[in-house]
Chains A and B, each alone.
Chain A
């Protein structure tokens, strides 16, 4: 399956995780204020090229990872097409399609996909633990929250197994359907979820004790493998943001760009 950091060797994968996160964040926020279809479409194209070439992520993988974004984009699009008032293009009973709905819907859908591509490029080329280590070292995230999060990652790894075990243990006394299979009710899901919560809270408390007994929180501490922000990382960040700015500026000069005002 797809997961954080599956692509380990590429230009994008070698960049500092914190720098990548900051770039992605800035780009996402900037795109929030773009409400025309053309600009996000251009970003989509540029992002796809960047992720496929720079990240060496196979196109198929990118598309597969885009699936949730596509679903969301489709929802946003249809909602706007059907429920946004404006110049009526076509109407049949309750169903009404407007020009504004089409334009804004397409803009929002493409924006979703653009942010999606960038996020996929980030997630697939960034190892979770490298990111945590980098946030600790480069973004001055404290040692305790950093390592608590890394311990949380280990806990997360155990959750599917715990979940399966709880499911099995609780179905022993569960009522059966007529065909002999266990009836899965929302209440049963809730009880299993609660059992998982109790188990994990207890484990978390013990993990905290383990970490403290190993001196987490003492100062000064040293770092075994320092992670640095290299000039190349800065060049990378500057390049991506400059490209973004160039596309938006070009769109504005050509009169294609529209902002949040399009909503109202």
Chain B
């Protein structure tokens, strides 16, 4: 059916590179393409993807998930889909792939054209002739045991002659910068490698349109870089149209900044309606305020624009002045005049931690006070700065090492080597043979401090946390302290009950009436009241994370909170909420130790940083001090985000090498976190965009309930 190719060749326009390879792709596609494609009308035919009036509705629900969205992409064009969580970004892509309505119990309306064909009534597999898809979950992105088989599958499905398949596998892997992975078993791949292979598989059949649904949301910075350069290589030929949903825009854009983002953008609002569309730079600058206030992460320049009202990013003197003022301003908690009442919190904290507590608390004074009461009765450490958890000479091993036979479904190590919780009341734990990841680690956690655990992927952060929590036996050494609490990166793993309310109550031993009080308080603090009776699995991603935190913090008898990647994949609002909870818990006398890749989050929240590198604790010191050690960061595979780097290197006060640098940096970053846009508070009681310290918590807290479904 050469018509199909004819249409495509015209589409591809002057892109010569496309023509040589294009024939095969079209042949493959044409092999089973319905004749109707030839009848596609000319105006539609020039678009790689065109959606008109697309809407999605759950049966029986009044509010649509997506309403009247239209978009159009020419071959080789790239488009970014922006919007807060719950705005239907993924639904939009699923309408294009046909997952909605063909695989989900949702109703779709509107029409979809792909590569010139009206595919509105065609199911997912038919649409696969012109679509390549990469979704966000690496654990579900790859279905076969070997990389080459995985990439061969779409080629076989599309009827590519067997003798061409090997070369096409090389081509696809080459595009995704994954050529060296060809012979590898998929079971041993890292997250970044998995997503690159998934990208290769999506590209293997030479689709006209590539859909990327947050392909990096579960990857570390190295993985993000790998996927970003792979996407760049793919679009370099100017043939494939790309539609990208992504919220870590700065990381995705890389060092060259927003210029590397797709040229076009559309914005969806909380109700799934289309707010704006056009060139990305223009869309970002015109909608920065709105997106920011809706809880979206934006590229740094756009974020600074939204908050300060000044364009130009860190290069702009006005922006710098704002940051300087924010860093110098007293924390809201210290300044009654600047801070609204709910933010003040009577809490007996040390001089140092009070100085750092720039987060307006989410807790009312009464809550905090009652908490203190319980605390003094229920085992929270009465003295600030007391050591609550100490590890001496601890060797940490991997729980399930690659020792598991590759071709075997189940292994001894999964079940045989149980992760038995210990009770560390000063008792020595059984020495168990492990493959050491961190050796001879010494560390202490003190009441009232927030400590970040940094290190590259595989450096043993998670294993160390599990060992400290008593969930993974230590190879050697001793851990002393009462039982810690811990939250995990994937909160679903922790859920035990069928209702949010019951989930928080799990393991609480107090009398029923008291438990109800504790539960209500946690529901309130973590903004879960509206879902209190829902099944935990039905919550949104952010709500699940908040629930796992709430359920853990309900245990007042655990003076230590351990958290594995607590900021991972959260939208802006939940990131801020998490930061605030950590500071609040520290102010109450808990010690918090969390692992993270997000150095901006670390710099905003942590008093102290522990870096793991080369199997040892490579550094342990105040945040600013450690982050200024360039050699150390390189050794640990860490990269400072531009904002943090600027704050750390600006020589004038209150940044840089000043004695107070860490506090200033933290104040500036926290002010940025809690700041609503300059417009939304202009004329309000909070102050103006020029004064950072005056931002209240209310502007951040309220809209969330509206967004969350």
Contact = CB atoms under 8 A, between A and B. Distances in A.
Given A216-B153, A217-B157, A222-B161, A173 B31 contact: no
Given A5-B407, A222-B160, A214 B202 contact: yes
Interface string B220-256: 0000000000000000000000000000000000000
A160 B125 contact: no
Contact of B471 (A129, A168, A211, A224): A168
Given A222-B156, A224-B156, A199 B493 contact: yes
A171 B126 CA distance: 46
B152 interface: yes
Nearest to B487: A172
B513 interface: no
B128 A127 contact: no
Contact of A159 (B153, B410, B423): B410
Nearest to A127: B407
A173 B507 contact: yes
Contact of B159 (A4, A153, A222): A222
Nearest to A208: B103
Contacts, number: 218
Contact of A174 (B133, B156, B486, B507): B507
A154 B186 contact: yes
A140 interface: no
Interface in B182-234: 186-187, 198, 201-202, 204-205
Given A174-B421, A203-B139, A221-B157, A153 B145 contact: yes
A156 B414 CA distance: 12
Given A3-B405, A147-B153, A154-B143, A214 B421 contact: no
Interface in B469-495: 469, 471-472, 483, 485-486, 488, 490, 492-495
B437 to A, nearest CB: 15
B684 interface: no
B466 interface: yes
A205 to B, nearest CB: 8
B492 A180 contact: no
B125 A216 contact: yes
Given A180-B425, A218-B159, A167 B419 contact: yes
A209 to B, nearest CB: 6
Contacts of B35: none
A181 interface: yes
B506 to A, nearest CB: 5
Interface residues of A, number: 65
Contacts of A220: 31-32, 159
Contacts of B53: none
Contacts of A250: none
B371 interface: no
A215 B421 contact: no
Contacts of B135: 206, 209-210
Contacts of B485: 172
A198 to B, nearest CB: 6
A163 interface: yes
A212 to B, nearest CB: 4
A171 B485 CA distance: 10
Contact of B202 (A181, A207, A209, A213): A213
B128 A214 contact: yes
Contact of A172 (B142, B201, B492, B552): B552
A199 B152 CA distance: 28
Nearest to B418: A167
B125 A212 contact: yes
B99 interface: yes
B396 to A, nearest CB: 14
5 contacts: A159-B414, A181-B421, A209-B97, A209-B133, A224-B152
Interface of A: 1, 3-6, 127-129, 143, 147, 150-151, 153-154, 156-176, 179-182, 191, 195, 198-199, 203, 206-226
Given A150-B143, A157-B409, A225-B162, 5 more contacts: A173-B551, A180-B424, A209-B140, A210-B140, A221-B156
